[in-house]
Structure 1
Amino acid sequence: MAVNAPAPATARLPRAAVSFEPCHENSRESGKMAMMSLKNDVVVVNGRGGTVLYDGASGALRTMQPAPLHSPARSNFLVSVTVGDGLYVMSLGDGGYQTPYFQALVYGRQPGDRRAEDWHWRPLPSPTFDHCPDHDDCPSSRYDECYHDVYAPTGHQVAIGAYTVVGGSRIWVSATTGAGTYSFDTASGAWSKAGEWALPFKGRAEYVPEHGLWFGLSDKDGHLCVCAADLATTTVPPALLHAWEDPPAPPEAWRTTAARLLPLGSGRLCIARFFETSEECNFAVLAGVEVVRDGDAGTRNLRVIRHKSKRYNFGYDGVKPL
């Protein structure tokens, strides 16, 4: 059951609290920037690995040590998530067809460094994906649908389909085409295999503590969906408990470029969908939804209340959300 809201009204973007401009260099790659959230702060990395943190509470900017090897701005993102006080980032190497590079931005003292504690990038082990059984027969259209293509050490191609945080300290990453789901323990720094199955989400899934459930966008149709009550104890492929249809489909002239689910707290979520038109106009539609329970605590009584939606135009600037 869903309460539908009217079509999104066009709104102006609010005045920016801070703006970041890329450096103008001959190299297109070095002029790129990547922005990631670290709790209430924003981390900005340029193509050379230079890192700046914007403190959302104080409005202050501070520089940090540059990313040591692969700058997240120069390669495709696979994972960007905050666990504890650290930002964990997985991306492809600069060549684009390598084992993914995994690193974390953490606060503390670097090994062997006697200087005061500070923010720094720490390299982490990358997951070792199993062989993809469908690789040889995989149609080329499957690769076209996912730009998160990476290669396993065996040389077979794997794709990152979904990821989330489980138990507050583990990062789960699902590889598509039958390669399974892998778990990284941020405390021990070790990878393990969670199962042969994949999470039923597309991109990042969010744990909503008010309901004790994981919410995300379905890997089937992109609709809002909810998954198992406790992923940490599951030994079987997690199944979708609910999936809610979106409002009427957008016009055919709107080409979807990305979709993200953003938690707002207290069971409220924001669904951000990014579009472009044949005229290369870029815009986003932000839709607010609230998940509530009717009656007892059973998951069958979940209901979605749709709040207003707004469209924000970016003009002709290229916007590619991470």
Structure 2
Amino acid sequence: MQITQGQRLPLSRIGISDRLTVAVSIQSSNVIDVACFGLDQQSKLSDDRFMVFFNQTSSPGDAIRLIGPGQFEINLGALPATIDRLVFTAAIDGAGAMKDISSSRFVVSGPGAPNAATCEFSGSTFSVEKAIMVADIYRKGGEWRMLANLQGFKEGLSALVRHFGGEVSDEPATAPPAPATPPLVQATFSLEKKVAAQAPALLSLAKKAQISLEKNNLTKVRAKLAFVLDVSGSMNGQYSRGRVQEAMNRLMPLAVAFDDDGELDVFGFGAKPVHLSPATLSNYSDYIDTEQGGWRKWDVGQRVNDEPRAMRLLMDYYNQSADFGAP
């Protein structure tokens, strides 16, 4: 069924019950972040765990799952009674406006209904908007309904978070006077600027990480991240297909944000664990295939999974660290 902006209809009318997929496809030269907000009866994000997007790919109970770019798998039966509305959004990451997008659409489908409802739209629908509410799935009168929303905001993802009652920390309008003695921990720094200067390929991931940190009030936290890699035989496919390297890429902006040294501690383990070199913005891009000759050559012994031995190494290492254990 073809639907248009503003149209509302019950999911039952398009043959959908509790399980469905919502796919948002936007044609643009800009990076588009697609998210799903699970809202309460006041249309507020009262539980951050129900904001599903790049950095949080599932909600409690897997009621909402991000299964691919712009594609969400929904189990309405698994949603708590406190969640009354799902809003699927799209936001431009960086410069640009929604008026510049070309032919785009969203599709709502379900088991036995591969294209139950399709809504086509393009840049002509918008003007200066950088973020839009694409579609809603909501409860009314004891049934689930859908709305082709397509309303927008002049700002990006942060404006959506604020609109739904979430918190995004703002930088102060004026910087406070510099203390006579530099503090042990700097209050804030620009994650995006640091990544842009040293690893521009990670800039999009850094922007998304910054939003998550601000939303959860973690911008001032200092911590050490450790990436502990299972190098047993069952993981060969994940390494060969580049999935482990992709996971490292996603972690790097967080490591830079949390650690003053901008390093990600890396450990590997099979029958025995090995402490690898730290990953940094200068060596991360091909780390998995080059560190100590590449993952196939790491000295982890037999390619079996001995997690307790790996955990002992980590505990010993951090207990002996001046930052975490006894001096």
| Higher alpha-carbon Rg | 2
Give yes or no for TM over 0.5: no
TM, length-normalised to structure 2: 0.27
Normalized per residue, which structure has more strand?
Answer: 1
Normalized per residue, which structure has more helix?
Answer: 2
